[in-house]
Structure 1
Amino acid sequence: LGRHKLSRHENPEPLYDQEDAEACMELFQSVDFHQVIQLGDIRFHLRPVGHILGAACVIIEAEGKCVGFSGDVGRLNDIFMRPPAPLPALDMLMLESTYGDRRHEDVDLLSQLADIVNETVDKGGNILIPAFAVGRAQVLQHMLTDLMKAGRIPRLPVYLDSPMAIDVSEIYCRYEDQHRLSSSECHEMCSTVHYSRSVQDSKALADQAYPHVIIAGSGMATGGRILHHFKRLLGQHRTTVIFAGYQAGGTRGAKMVDGAERIKIHGDWIPVKARLEVLSGLSGHGDFTEIEQWLAQSDLAPETPINLIHGDPDALEAMKDHLRQNTRFEVDVAGYQSILRL
């Protein structure tokens, strides 16, 4: 921040450093799904919800009542993750509504990605994919590996240029019972993709011959190694940039998707001449119809109170209206600092 003059402070300092982060890790305890934990008078357990590896809803029991907190709920037919486990009977559910006003398109993502790659390769260009380190980077590796194996795209170098995403990929392969990929598919994915761990490895990609694919963080192009590749390649019309996730307003990714002709990176204005594509069906969040189906598969009584959280105002209202019209649950939007009593 100081080097690129991106802070309002003359000498910006981090809120915490690596030593602090490593020290706090001693406070974490791993818990298996469905393992019941007792904390005083409160009991709770976690159930998988398929958003990303380890994503869980929390089921809390106390004073004869049972309350569920959904967390981020995954897709019913995700490429990578298993579907969310059904909920037990509850006295109240706090339910996310990220996609409360949006429905995922029914598209063939593998064919869409194959077309983009083949068209870029035919031009002699390369492909840059900003990706979230957890979940999205692994799905993209799997899709590209599958397409090459099936002969739908040529065998070309694929680089994962994100130390965090590399570590996460190895964790995904370690816990293959938690997702849809087999052991052989995990091994093939990790052995096909080249991992750029060091800064030197990342810089060396500038010398790679076309065509190739670089997957790097961050997913919204707010930081990370993808920015260095953008500075180098956004000005070339042969380059293709694929956005494979939600782009929040005000981020570089959102500005590019909205058609910005230049974006500012490290103090310089970089022209955007590359082709831009969006893979919109890779979200790890279930939409309002998928969440409705998940609720129907669960053991919730018809009049179970559901309070909606974790959504923009429009999404909260749209999901409330949908569930009220299509279910018998008592649905409302949780108010800020409100107190709910059972």
Structure 2
Amino acid sequence: MSLRFLGAAGTVTGSRYLVQYRERRLLVDCGLFQGLKQLRLRNWAPFPVPPGTIDAVVLTHAHLDHSGYLPRLVEEGFRGVVHVTPGTGDLLPILLRDAGRLQEEDARYANRHGFSKHSPALPLYTEAQAMRALERVRPRPFDRVFEPLPGLMAKFSHAGHIVGAASLHLATEAGSITFSGDLGRTDDPVMRPPACAEQADLIVVESTYGNRRHATAPTDGELAEVISRTAARGGTTLIPAFAVGRAQAVLHALLRLKAAGRIPDLPIYLNSPMAIQAGRLLEPHADELRLSEPERRDLAEKVRYIRTEEESRALNAPAFPSIIVAASGMATGGRVLHHLKALAPHPEHAIVFVGHQAAGTRGASLVAGADAVRLHGQWVPVRAQVCAIEGMSSHADQAQLLDWLSTLQRRPAHVFVTHGEPESSDALRQAIEERFGWSASVPEHLDTVAWPPAL
């Protein structure tokens, strides 16, 4: 058995791991690279192995940095089954179709306005191609063993993070591997905590927040303060948020603050068709959530959902202070870009980031203090207040990642630290070695590991 790191090695994006067993190939996650241009170019490069030689795919969850390359993989020759949890199976049509549609729209916009370096600009894949890829998806229940390749047994366990998110355990007679997937927080207000880690020879653990600890004090006060100050000066608060997971958590926090009288009675808008669709899946998967039935009902009834482009454009010239939650969370695409273009030049407004901002994204640039940001081919000045509230992330922090590893009943042969910026991954590697005395390393892109190792 061998493990090859085709993505999420030295970066927090592009999750892709190739497991080879008895001449057959299983791809664990099939994510898009996002952020820095040299990473995004990997989406357009030939896949490291011919897609037609991959026998099956298993996805740990639906976020695009774990699933978003799937339509391209199918177009390039993959013909196997894609194994997912039921929640991921419900979310994938929303995310992948939206991704294809946005790429088509971006390509048309670039061609119409002539700001692309390519003539013509093309989408990585289309909505129709995304729909064809979805035909290969097969849901598998949590905590039930299935066989994606002959002789290779797999099992999903709950990872928290978002609906459907899973850790993955693979076992053969030659050895075993556990992939953490993206682990949620033990104290997440929306999702239940991750299950214990499955024992394995090799552990692959994410490190998005591997060098940080979330604030022990609630972050609601910080959010309330920003919104109240912004409203007092007549401004609107724009909150970029990932459509699946964070948008629902942010709305829940805003409704709590409003009910407690800690923020003014402002209209709360959700401007993301994808987030609106994802919100409808909370009820069918309520067993994965901490939210009560009244809290889920409030999310459905007390938020103003923006569905049309006309409604979206109207928010760019607010007649009174309001709160807008819009995707994407790193300001890499979606309707939030149009709101940034309209609101960022004006000092009365505020832009509040509530999740990790990968290197090279607009979100990272804004949080770092950029005085201008490039949007739709032009530079837009940034005079609005910009702040980041890290404590609202849906990822486990260093302490919670270590606690998850501590649930292993015996020492693994090796731990691979992935899915993090270099400083974050190396900090978690060092923490693992210091706390447990285990062998741990940060793999590089395209590294291959054989198990058991050759004598």
TM-score, structure 1 as length reference: 0.93
| Number of the residue aligned with 2:339 | 229
Equivalent in 405, 417, 438 of residue 308 of structure 1: 417
Kindly provide the CA deviation profile for residues 33-73 of structure 1, in whole angstroms up to 9, marking residues without a partner as x. 11211242111110011122111111112116332111111
| Deviating more after overlay: 54-63 vs 253-262 | 253-262
SS of aligned partner of 1:3:
helix
Q: How does 1:25-44 map to 2 (within 5 A)?
A: 25-39=134-148, 40-44=150-154
**Corresponding residue for 1:332?**
441
Opposite residue 349 of structure 2, the aligned amino acid is: T
The residue identity in structure 2 corresponding to 1:215 is: V
* Cα contact 2:357–2:363 (8 A) shared by 1: yes
How do 1:4-153 and structure 2 match up within 5 A? Answer: 4-39=113-148, 40-63=150-173, 65-153=175-263
Code of the aligned partner of 2:388: V
Secondary structure at 1:291 match in 2: helix
Equivalent position amino acid for 1:122 in 2: A
Superposed displacement of residue 202, structure 1: 0.8
- Measured after TM superposition, the shift of residue 125 of structure 1 is 1.3
Describe the superposition over 1:97-133 as per-residue Cα deviations: whole angstroms up to 9, x where unpaired. Answer: 2222222232321111111111112212111111111
Retained in 2: the 8 A contact 1:173–1:187? Answer: no
Which residue in 2 is equivalent to 1:322? 431
> AA paired with 1:34?
D
Distance 1:209 1:95, change over 3 A: same
| Consecutive unaligned residues in structure 2, runs of 5 or more | 1-109
Higher relative contact order (CA 8 A, sep 6+): 1
- Corresponding letter in the other structure for 1:308: V
Residue 270 (structure 2) pairs with residue 270 (structure 1):
no
- Shift in Å, 1:193: 0.9
Residues 318 and 140 of structure 1, relative CA distance in 2, 3 Å threshold: same
Letter in 2 for 1:262: A
State whether residues 261 and 272 of structure 1, in contact with CA within 8 Å, keep that contact through their aligned partners in structure 2: yes
Could you say if the C-alpha distance between residues 71 and 263 of structure 1 is closer, same or farther in structure 2, counting changes exceeding 3 Å? same
Report which stretch shifted further, 321-330 or 235-244: 321-330
The verdict on how the C-alpha distance between 1:94 and 1:260 changes in structure 2, with shifts beyond 3 A counting, is closer
Return the offset for 1:313: 2.9
Question: Residues 119-268 of structure 1: matches in 2 within 5 Å?
Answer: 119-206=229-316, 208-268=318-378
| C-alpha separation in 2, matches of 1:333 and 1:125 | 44
Paired letter, 1:25: L
Is 2:404 the partner of 1:287?
Answer: no
Change (3 A) 1:66 1:110: same
Larger deviation, residues 30-39 vs 304-313? 304-313
The Cα of 1:260 is off from its aligned counterpart by 2.0
Q: What residue identity is the alignment partner of 1:71?
A: G
TM-score between the two structures when normalised by the length of structure 2: 0.71
Q: CA deviation at 1:205?
A: 2.2
Gap runs ≥5 in structure 1: none
Q: How many residues align?
A: 341
In the TM superposition, what whole-angstrom CA distance separates every residue of 1:227-282 from its partner, at most 9, and x where no partner exists? 21222222222111111122223322222222222222223332211111211112
Mapped contact 1:90–1:300 kept (Cα < 8 A): no
SS of equivalent to 2:239? strand
* 2:171 partner SS: strand
2:317/2:342 contact within 8 Å kept: no
Amino acid in structure 2 at the alignment position of 1:221: A
Partner of 1:87: helix, strand, or coil? coil
Contact 1:302/1:328, CA 8 A, preserved across alignment: no
Matched residue SS, 1:29: strand
